[in-house]
Structure 1
């Protein structure tokens, strides 16, 4: 006697009134998998990337909201070249930490995804090793995805730091030009004279010790000095005997040093042994 199969019990429930008058077998608004074409899949991939990036920023790039004291200090800090340099350095440190955190997160995701693919059963397990490698490269472009996200982070960093670097270079060049102009300026007092470089002091000393006005005019034309700028120090030179003696000593010391160098060069040239090149004998 063959036992009869009992029909399974069916539990019925009242449908949600929200769906009255609708066809339950039609695709949903987001699209049925069978009806998704390449364009829709591409848009879904883009939306997924946007979601992943947003989650990455929320979970791994949190920034503490500054309090009022910090914001006040930020607004009142001096607008100087050194402060701008410190700001650029701070932005770079934040970028380095963001990139380090980004690669750590992606390494964890890659490890998890690799373990899940290893444990899952797919038709690729029956393929050859070459086919498996090709399918993984085709289906899981991890390197491309990571590279795009990393380049996005790098782009945002450069968009923020490059204008600051350009401004820093401009300010630094302006400061160098101002310093050079200040150094080329003819001093009006002894204190300003002491701040000049040694070679510039010698130029001024030679001008002060010039015995004729024509020679002074020559120096002024050569170094772009104006007579009104040179007059105050010339008056100090005429009245202050100690300063005048110092100028004379400086010039004499430089002249003696130059003569010593000339003498040593001439002496070395005279006493250097000459090597006579021996010509090969011909037979």
Structure 2
């Protein structure tokens, strides 16, 4: 990175309005300068940060979206793409602004006056037009524009990332609750993890006292278990599958207790 040594202001100008706008005190900013700054900010928004408003159907679809996590991730990705576009617009605005400033700077130089002016005056004007500090004010504005845009973007990113983390955490909790719920049919049973299938299988072959312990241990309601218990009694194929799971579990780990 280029090392730049910034020269401080001459103490003789302390408390005087002899500095560029970017380094003046707030109370030194007059209404004209404030109006110029506000107009510039408005032009930046109107011409370079405008956004197309979604149509009604699009907004309605977004409001009715049920997969909140997917929507949140899509919104975050869209926000990042928008930020890249905003930066591109900002840089184009700065380019246009700089070109206008160069032209204005050249227009204010009176060549006829300089032709007969003292050499020191000519040198001073030349420094103001082409010197190393000629763009200091513009650079301060550009940096301020970028920092404001970046801050606004990161503030939204942090909010969205927290939203995604909260949704992922909630989704994981709901997933665990669904996994632990007693299956209602064969299809639901087959979706369960091997551990849950073993647990349900042992429940189905248990006696009434053991079933009561399962109900208390895993917060199952008896009415939730009724459909699968009835299926176990009537469907010989399902019953065979359950017994096979029991045998498989015993062969894998004979130390499993009855309520695991």
TM-score bracket for this pair, using the shorter chain length: 0.5 to 0.7
Equivalence for 1:42: 29
CA shift in 2, pair 1:159/1:71, >3 Å: farther
Whole-angstrom CA distance in 2 between matches of 1:71 and 1:161: 26
| Alignment partner of 1:237 out of 218, 229, 232 | 232
**Which residue of 59, 74, 90 corresponds with 1:74?**
59
Of 212, 215, 221, 1:220 maps to: 215
1:195, distance to aligned residue in structure 2 (A): 2.1
In the alignment, which residue of structure 1 is the partner of 2:257?
Answer: none
Residue 56 (structure 1) aligned to one of 30, 44, 49: 44
1:190-209 equivalences in 2 (<5 Å): 190-209=186-205
Deviation at 1:64? 4.4
Residue 148 of structure 1: which of 139, 144, 149 is its match?
144
Task: Give the match for residue 87 of structure 1.
Answer: 75
Structure scoring higher RCO (CA < 8 A, sep ≥ 6) equals: 2
Aligned positions, number: 212
Aligned to 2:119: none
- Report the alpha carbon displacement of residue 170 of structure 1 after superposing the two structures with TM: 4.4
Offset at 1:158? 5.4
> Following TM superposition, by how much is the alpha carbon of 1:172 offset from its aligned partner in structure 2, in angstroms?
4.4
State TM-score, norm by structure 2. Answer: 0.63
- The separation in 1 between residues aligned to 2:187 and 2:222, in whole angstroms, is 20
Q: Deviations over 1:42-68 (max 9, x none)?
A: 2343332222222222332344466xx
- Quote the residue 1:248 is aligned against: 243
- Deviations, residues 63-99 of structure 1 (Å, cap 9, x unaligned): 4466xxx323322442332344433432332222011
Per the TM alignment, residue 183 of structure 1 is displaced from its structure 2 partner at its CA by 1.7
| Long gaps (5+) in structure 2 | 1-15, 18-24, 110-121, 255-260
User: Which residue of the partner structure matches residue 264 of structure 1?
Assistant: none
Point out the more displaced range, 154-163 or 189-198.
Answer: 154-163
Per-residue CA deviation, residues 216-236 of structure 1 (Å, 9 max, x unaligned), is 333333222222322332222
CA deviation after TM superposition for structure 1 residue 160, in Å: 5.8
Cα RMSD (Å):
3.7
Q: With the length of structure 1 as denominator, give the TM-score of the two structures.
A: 0.59
Structure 1, unaligned runs of 5 or more: 1-36, 127-131, 260-283
Counterpart CA distance in 2 for 1:75 and 1:65 is 13
2:99 and 2:253 map into 1 onto residues whose CA distance is 74
Cα pair distance change 1:192/1:140, threshold 3 Å: same
